[in-house]
Amino acid sequence: MKLVRYGKKGKEKPGLLDTDGRLRDLSEVVPDINGWVLSKYLPRLARLRPGKLPLVKGRPRLGPCVGGVGKFICIGLNYKDHADETGAAYPQEPVVFLKATSAISGPFDPIVIPRGSTKTDWEVELGVVIGRTAKYVTEADAMEYVAGYCVINDVSERSFQLERGGQWDKGKGCDSFGPIGPYLVTRDEVPDPQNLRLWLEVDGRRYQEGHTRNMIFGVARLVSYVSHFMSLQPGDIISTGTPAGVGLGQKPEPVYLRPGQVVRLGIERLGEQQQVVAE
């Protein structure tokens, strides 16, 4: 299934895409696409006949594909080529940090450059959406706790992240820095999350062209690892790192986002996002 949330910001309704890619309304079936629904209702949703659901007219805004996210967990330096371009050693264990849930936005909402920013950057990432409470799970069992996957742009302000002291979180949690979607693709439609192509371009120039097989730590390892440090709840998201090609890593000098530019990104099987950069 491809589950979506559509409508005005803060008033999104639940929906799904039918086999023809048309948006169908789920409001009479579930109240939202959130952790509670993912933990209780996925089997019921899978049994629905999409053609029997009300067709949504027009082209409404798509909101974040998961509502009420409790934790937005990110993994740093998880692709060998990205570590290489930043000059960092490969981590011996996953690098874990948190992104503010207030950063979450829709997949086509604008990226707003924060006040004082000089180095706003892009990062296409595979998002893993948790479907069951996970605590101390083994790597062998970890995938049973995954509800599905989505595209994430882990927008980052590098001067806030790297030059202002403290942890990375300051450069990761600004409003609009967490577009997720366009839809949540359930786990049954992605047989191998380590076999997905991902890419990102700015104003039509392709900067990132990667593959999830190049992760240092795969999805199962990450879910298991994080569950040993904090319980994972339904609706939590793990953003699994980015491949090479971020603005920080460009040669001969870094390239950063400017107002008016258009960022477009996508992951095989999971759809595409597009954001206009605004002040």
Please tell me whether residues 33 and 77 are part of one structural domain.
no
Indicate whether 268 and 174 sit together in one domain: yes
pLDDT of residue 13: 98
Contacts 24+ apart (CB under 8 A), 17-25: 17/50, 17/183, 18/50, 18/51, 18/53, 19/50, 22/55, 22/56, 23/55, 23/56, 23/60, 24/50, 24/53, 24/54, 24/55, 24/56, 25/53, 25/54, 25/55, 25/56
Q: pLDDT by residue for the chain (279 residues), tens digit each?
A: 999 999 999 999 999 999 999 999 999 999 999 999 999 999 999 999 999 999 999 999 999 999 999 999 999 999 998 888 888 889 999 999 999 999 999 999 999 999 999 999 999 999 999 999 999 999 999 999 999 999 999 999 999 998 888 778 899 999 999 999 999 999 999 999 999 999 999 999 999 999 999 999 999 999 999 999 999 999 999 999 999 999 999 999 999 999 999 999 999 999 999 999 999
Report the predicted TM-score, pTM, of the whole model to 2 decimal places. Answer: 0.96
Residues 204 and 254 in one domain: yes
76 with 18, same domain: the answer is no
Whole-number pLDDT of residue 209: 97
The structure tokens listed for 113 are 């450059």
Coil, helix or strand at residue 6: strand
Half-sphere exposure of 257 (CA within 13 A, CB side): 31
What CA–CA distance (Å, rounded) separates 91 from 125?
A: 18
3-state helix, strand, coil in the chain (%, to 5): 20, 30, 50
| 62 assigned to some structural domain | no
Position 167 scores a pLDDT of 79
Both structure tokens of 61:
């805004």
Task: Answer yes or no: do 77 and 46 share one domain.
Answer: no
Residue 173 and residue 81 in contact, taking contact as beta carbons nearer than 8 Å: no
Predicted pLDDT of residue 166: 76
The answer to whether residue 9 sits within a structural domain is yes
Domain count, the chain: 2
| Residue 27: inside a domain | yes
**Contact between 273 and 181 (Cβ < 8 Å):** yes
The answer to the question of residue 14 being in a domain is yes
The pLDDT of residue 164 is 87
Residues 14 and 144 grouped into a single domain: no
Give me the domain span that covers residue 10: 2-52
Q: Which residues, including other chains, have CB under 8 Å from residue 32's CB and lie 6 or more apart?
A: 5, 12, 13, 14, 67, 68
Q: Does residue 249 share a domain with residue 115?
A: yes
